[in-house]
A and B are shown apart, each in its own frame.
Chain A
Amino acid sequence: MFAFVTNFDMQMLAVLVAAACALPGAFLVLRRMALITDAISHVILLGIVLAYFIVRDLKSPFLLVGAAIGGVATVALVELLQRTKLVKEDAAIGLVYPALFSVAVLLVTMKAANVHLDVDAALVGHLSFAASRKVQMTATSEMPLSSLVMAVVLTLNVAFIAACYKELKITTFDAALAASLGFMPVLLNYVLMTLVSLTAVTAFDAVGAVLVVPMMIVPAATALLLTNRLAEVLALSVLVAIGAALGGFWLATWANANYAGAIAVVLGLEFAVAWIAAPRRGLIAGRLRRRHQYREFLETLLAIHLLHHEGTPAESEESALAGLHRHLRWPQKQVNRVVGWATGDELMEARDGQLVLTATGRELARHMLGQAHVG
């Protein structure tokens, strides 16, 4: 219990970061803008560095602003590059962010090497450090500054999504309709991007730039394996993210390793579990469904074969269990299996070495044939 209490601040911060990232991240995934998060997270360092050079104060909130601006500027730059029609989107992104990140690293190592702008920490964050900077809340309690800031950002994200839910929904799933109805999708997009930037910057302190990316998009990807309703996707994303934050925290504690990396790994594991085991969209469910369909298909074929010869002179020959493998051209093993299934499903019964359709089986076969003979 004691360990839990002293780690409470860090876990709280991790949870807040996770929730704040997962919400706008869900919209990025649905809008197919996942790559922009990658670009933004790399450019943030440059924004912070440039802002630092202007204010010369590591604790200034202006750093936040600078970085957020950097984020939006990246998007603009990538779009500009695309508009020259000389470079495709994927190449544009692959060009812009390494270049800007390099500039940032260069500036840090050349001009600010004595300042505590550690490039490594910028990449992967420093959760315990971030959680230790406390701020006085009331006369008796205090709270990590980062948690407070993160809580504010989380509230902003929730407020934005709640206020513009309908608009976000329409512009995400039917941009053309949205524009024609006057919803200003471009404006909404830039507001979203700004919030993403802001979230990335504030999360940066705790988990670093690069690990903001999976925290934004993997929970939503996992949620998409479980549902396709927007509200559910949002709720599940937050849950998955929180789960990863806590799970990752404990993994890192146990392995004595970096928190951000651990959280990313847990996110990946959560996704893997969902990918394999999700009720309708998972791999196992898909396998089972296909197997069921295959079984149904073979049973139906058999039933149709029986129906086809029912009441004809050849019936005793065609329906004889012994001869089925010849008439259907199936291996005997398959015949046995399918007969077993079909009789088990009460589509037919074996009587004196013959297969006879039951009422259910006859109806199924007729139904299938009826469909085939439409028109």
Chain B
Amino acid sequence: MLSSLSHLQLVAFGSATLGVVSGALGSFAVLRKQSLMGDAVSHAALPGVMLVFLLWQTKEPLALVLGAAAAGWCCTLLVLLITQTTRIPPDTVLCGAMSVFFGAGVLLQTYIQKAGVGGASQAGLDRFIIGNAALLLQRDVELMLVLGAATLAVMLLFWKEFKLLSFDPAFAASIGRPTRMFDILLTTLLVIAIVIGLQSVGVVLMSAMVVAPGVAARQFTHKLGRMVALAAFFGGASGVAGTLISDALEGVPTGPAIVLCATAIVVAALLFAPERGLLSRWRRRARPAISKELGQVGDAS
């Protein structure tokens, strides 16, 4: 079925997939205040990809995805360990770990380039930095679809547990739910969602695709189901729109185009969403209706 699509359609399809999956799982990250973990995982994935190529000289999408996921996971674990065993502020640990991993990735990539490892096939590895969806092949999109679908399926399967984990982890633990296990599972799903998008959007910008759809959706509803669905829609739409724009304009890489579409959606949501939106807030302030104002106090997410 995929082979019948034109190249542009294929790329748009891939971008839509990444948008949907990262939007959906990113919603959980936003709710659990783990937006920066998405950032860390993306940056940390770079050395994973490079190491896989260095050791096995393959650009097989599954191999690269596994390498990226392993590196991202390693970084997350390391951050956790360091935070638990030292008094260094957690934000420093996160930032430091992710930028050191990224630096290692850059080191490996330049080494691969200069040493000519793997011959000509190493060209195009640098697209992992800011992304280039135009280089997506059919096998890449196939993998994205399979992994994306699997991720969403697991998310739906354990929906109730993830919902509980996101909103009241203490309660979940107190009624004997294995919160640790679901925490790890949800984190793994997020890692997968991130790594399938790296080729299109790149490590530097991927965090926006995790955060923006979720934040935008949050402005319209506080129900988890609607938020996730809406976020998935926003993410997918950004993916497609960004790809089309990048194709229409000369020399514009897909990563920034997709991210800017997602950002535009967020800005629109922040301004125009009913009730929570800034525009409606300003209008309410201009016409003081006491009962309405009393009802709107305390809008923090």
Contact = CB atoms under 8 A, between A and B. Distances in A.
A256 B86 contact: no
Most buried by B among A95, A213, A217: A95
Interface stretch (A162-170, A191-199, A261-269, A328-336): A261-269
B285 to A, nearest CB: 13
Contact of B299 (A85, A110, A224, A264): A85
Given A38-B99, A95-B211, A261-B104, A109 B111 contact: no
Given A34-B89, A98-B259, A42 B204 contact: yes
A88 B33 contact: yes
A148 interface: no
Taking residues whose C-beta sits less than 8 angstroms from the other chain, chain B's interface range is: 35 or more
A338 to B, nearest CB: 28
A214 B106 CA distance: 13
A211 interface: yes
Given A124-B106, A261-B104, A214 B96 contact: yes
A225 interface: yes
A106 interface: yes
Nearest to A228: B87
B24 to A, nearest CB: 16
A84 to B, nearest CB: 6
Interface of A is mostly: helix
B130 A105 contact: yes
Contact of B266 (A95, A210, A258): A95
Interface of B is mostly: helix
Interface stretch (B6-14, B61-69, B228-236, B249-257): B249-257
A31 to B, nearest CB: 9
A265 B255 contact: no
Given A120-B126, A225-B86, A225-B88, A94 B39 contact: yes
A217 B259 contact: no
A261 B270 contact: no
Contacts of A38: 39, 95, 99
A210 B101 CA distance: 11
Contacts of B204: 42, 98, 101, 123, 210
Contacts of A262: 103, 107
Given A119-B130, A281-B86, A29 B301 contact: no
A267 B97 CA distance: 10
Given A34-B95, A35-B36, A260 B103 contact: yes
A265 B253 contact: no
A148 B129 CA distance: 31
Contacts of B33: 88, 90-91
Nearest to B87: A224
B210 A86 contact: no
B287 interface: no
B215 A211 contact: no
A59 B217 CA distance: 44
Contacts of B92: 29, 32, 34, 217, 220-221
B60 interface: no
A91 to B, nearest CB: 4
A258 B108 CA distance: 9
A277 to B, nearest CB: 13
Most buried by B among A88, A220, A260: A88
B115 A256 contact: yes
Contacts of B266: 95
B103 A102 contact: no
Interface in A81-97: 84-88, 90-91, 93-95
5 contacts: A87-B301, A88-B301, A257-B108, A262-B103, A281-B86
Q: Give the top 7 A-B pairs by smallest Cβ distance, nearest first.
A: A264-B103, A261-B107, A102-B256, A98-B208, A261-B106, A268-B100, A258-B110
